[in-house]
Every structure is written in C-alpha cells, then in structure tokens.
Chain A
Amino acid sequence: MTVFNGGSLNIGSSSNSHDNVLNITNATVSTAYLNVGNSGALSNSLVLKVEHSRSGLCA
C-alpha cells in the first residue's frame, strides 16, 4: 500500500471543521506536512495501526 502526498495532509482543514478521521493501517504514507486539526478545528483524528496476522506475520 503506497500513498504519496506532496503537499499538506489536513484532517479538519479549516476553523471549526470537526469529526474527520484518517486511518492508516499496514500502509506506507509519505506526506510533506501532516496537520491534525488546523486552527479552530475540533475532534479530528489520526489513527495509526500495525496489525498482524495470527501467525505473527504481516500480510
């Protein structure tokens, strides 16, 4: 899984924007900037996870 973002990655990109979510699970993400809630934004989330199979090996 590859995601390349050359600019800003904004989760809640303006004042009072709210309840937006970015989930990243077992993925590679490259971004120039990462903002979780810009000025005045509320309740925005970045969720990072690495999950393994039952054998202990990543898919």
Chain B
Amino acid sequence: MTNSYALVSASAGTNNISLASLNGTLLINNGTLLAPRTTDNGGGMSLGGTNSSVIITNGGYLLTSSGTLGANAPFCTGVVVGVSSVWSNHTTVADSTNLIIVGTGIGPTNFLGVFNGAKLYNNGSLNIGNNVTSAFNTVTFGSPVPR
C-alpha cells in the first residue's frame, strides 16, 4: 500500500483490520492506514491467520486502537522498520483500552519487531504471551549495529 487509506466511518463504531487467512500480508510502504476506534471499545487489528504478517516500512504509518498478532494462530509477524515508520496504537475515546497482544489463545510463536529507527507508540499494555497455550513469542526492539 503506497497511498493513504482510512477505515474510519462516521457512522461506524469499529474499524477492523483482520488477516484471518493463511499467509496473508498487510504491507504499508510509505502509506497511511487509519483504523482507530470511534465510539466503542471494539475493533483494531487482528492477525489470526497462520503465518500472516503486517509490515510497516519506508515511512509508513498505521493507526490502530488495538492490535493482536497471533490470535489463535502461530507464526504471525509484525515488523515496523525504518526511520519515520510508525505504528501508533492510540485513541482518545473515553473508556477505550489500547492493548497490543503478541500471542493469545492457541497462538504460539509470534513475533513483533521494531527496527532501524522506527517507532511504536502504545497507549496501553503490551502482553507478550497472553495464555499458557501461546508460548514462545518474541518481541524485539532495536537491532545490533552492523559488523
């Protein structure tokens, strides 16, 4: 995706991003995708397809209200990479809870990485491994310098 796109609807309470199929990819390459909550506490981004991924790169911007990588699915990946690339999980709706989960339900072995000058803003909690059945998840912030 290289252009801007907003899921926001004035009449919609939720703006959902769902990757529920096998090997699905959401690529935000220097574009903007806005999917915040508007009036309720639902919505957000969910990667629930095995081996699905979201990649924000080259100055891309993703705005969500919640994010789950590995919702009852393994091998889901979220990568935010490069200067000016941003994932902001933040809304100002009253009583809204901004939560990022890496691995929940039967969702082991998921990954979230923020690399090479990218930014992650989360106005809530970040849970790595939300259940006993969602083990072996990894989150990596930063990266070693090149050798």
What is the chain A residue whose CB lies nearest that of B132? A16
- Which residue in B126, B129, B145 is a CB contact (below 8 Å) of A52? B145
At the interface with chain A, which of B15-23, B47-55, B56-64, B135-143? B135-143
Give the interface centre of A20, A23, A51 by most chain B CB atoms within 10 Å: A20
At the interface with chain A, which of B3-11, B29-37, B71-79, B116-124? B116-124
Count of B interface residues, CB-CB < 8 Å: 37
Nearest Cβ distance between residue B118 and chain A, in whole angstroms? Answer: 7
In the assembled complex, which residues on chain A have CB atoms less than 8 Å from the CB atom of B122?
Answer: 3-7
The reply to whether A7 and B124 contact each other, CB–CB distance below 8 Å, is yes
Majority DSSP secondary structure for residues of B touching A: strand
In the assembled complex, which residues on chain B have CB atoms less than 8 Å from the CB atom of A31?
Answer: 126
Cβ < 8 Å to A, chain B residues 93-110:
98-99, 102-103
Return the CB mask of A1-36 against B: 1 if under 8 Å, else 0: 111111111111111111111111111010100000
Interface residues, chain B, with chain A CB atoms under 8 Å away:
98-99, 102-103, 114-132, 134-147
